[in-house]
Amino acid sequence: MTGNTPGISELLTKIIDFCGKDLDYIFADGHSRSVGSDFLILELNDASTAGNFRPTVVFIATENSNDDFSGVLRNIVAGGILIYNENDENVANAVDSSENYFRKLPYAKPETNGNYLKTEIGDIPVNFDPKIMAHIDGARLFCQQFGIMEEDFYEGLASL
């Protein structure tokens, strides 16, 4: 995972923990946890470093970045998954020009109504920084890759 949106990795780990899934993580700020899981969230703040890895699932959570994501996209394992903000033109252009084979899961900023996230299952009470809120749908897609269904994701989100 790569991105410059502080807090999204922490949000993901809390929801995954809430849902009873094991995972290891290494955050860009040095915080880490190793429980021997098959899954690792690796938070990186620059795309050039992320290009050194061969991930299966990549979640790019950026705010209109100017980073070069070609190395990251080139190294996703064949048949892997990319979750990205379709409104970030730089990322969307890199995805469109990538020749690597991977599944593309675009997301956009969700609809809100005050402190409520509008979802298909109803309005969910939330109180997050707008920079995190912009990536909630991407976080949902990411958690689905760990077998966390939509209802469980929103339940975990509402518990935070």
Per-residue confidence in pLDDT tens, the chain, 160 aa: 545 555 888 899 999 999 999 888 888 888 888 888 877 888 877 777 777 888 899 998 876 677 788 888 999 999 999 999 999 888 999 999 999 999 999 999 998 888 889 998 889 988 888 888 899 999 999 999 989 999 999 999 988 8
Distance CA 111, CA 123 (A): 10
Distance CA 2, CA 118 (A): 26
